[in-house]
Amino acid sequence: MDLGLTGLHLDGVGGIFGLDRLTTLRDLTLPNELISGLRDLPHGAQLTELRLNGDALPVGSLRGLGEWPTLERLQLHYGVDLFNVEDWSELASHPSLTTLLVPARAARQCKDAPELSHIETLRVDSVRGDEDLSALRRLCPNLRVVELVSSYAVALDLRAHDQDFPGIEVTTSRPHYVAF
């Protein structure tokens, strides 16, 4: 049974079953644990936006992202520091993906990752201001826009990251407290 839903944003719900039957979804926010990784999600859906809590995904669990060839925007909150090269490779092989959100600490984990040449917009969450984000520039060589979201609602000084993203439009913002 399909409910005709195009968007679903869940928070604080555990033990979710039946997501695989929601094939009309275009936009999905799911901070909850996915016991079977991406296999729990609706494979017939034409998802364009997916927001996941990385802690909810087992290591290596981004394999299978190709099930959604229409996916344009992916937000990975937390847990990205557990991703391995295969996870980053899965993102690299997804050409429709143009917008990516990752936590700042992902810059430490992506040094051996393949380039994500199709990413044009990068949102970096939980930026303290003292981290080296230059690995993210190497990871995404065709960036046009970078948004740095400060950690703890502290104002960021853009000069601290000028060398990380030369020639790219960089903006800063404070966190939007979403349900993650």
Q: Which among 36, 70, 34, 67 is positioned nearest to 52, based on CA atoms? A: 34
* Domain boundaries, position 59: 7-173
Is 45 inside a domain boundary?
Answer: yes
Is 179 inside a domain boundary?
Answer: no
Pick the range with the lowest mean pLDDT from 23-27, 33-37, 44-48, 160-164.
33-37
Q: What is the pTM (predicted TM-score) of this model?
A: 0.85
- Cβ–Cβ contacts within 10 Å for residue 107, how many? 23
Is 104 inside a domain boundary?
Answer: yes
Q: What is the structure's pLDDT at 162?
A: 76
CATH number at residue 68: 3.80.10
Task: Give the mean pLDDT of 49-75.
Answer: 77
Is 140 inside a domain boundary?
Answer: yes
**Model confidence pLDDT, tens digit, residues 104-142:** 888 888 888 899 999 999 999 888 888 889 999 999 999
Contact 152, 126 (CB under 8 A): no
**Model confidence pLDDT, tens digit, residues 136-177:** 999 999 999 999 988 776 677 777 777 888 888 888 887 765
Q: Is the pLDDT of residue 1 over 60?
A: no
Is 180 inside a domain boundary?
Answer: no
Domain count for the chain, please give it: 1
3-state secondary structure of 38: helix
List of long-range contacts for 43-50, beta carbons under 8 Å, 24+ apart: 43/67, 46/70, 47/71, 48/72, 48/73, 49/73, 49/74, 49/75, 50/74, 50/75
Q: Which among 56, 1, 57, 51 is positioned nearest to 26, based on CA atoms? A: 51
Separation of alpha carbons 55 and 38, rounded Å: 13
Is 109 inside a domain boundary?
Answer: yes
Q: What is the structure's pLDDT at 52?
A: 80
Is 1 inside a domain boundary?
Answer: no
Q: Which two tokens stand for residue 180?
A: 């993650």
With tokens 């936590």, the residue in question is 103
Q: Distance of alpha carbon 176 from its chain centroid, rounded?
A: 15
Is 2 inside a domain boundary?
Answer: no
The letter for the amino acid at 99 is T
Q: What is the structure's pLDDT at 32?
A: 64
Q: Is the pLDDT of residue 83 over 60?
A: yes
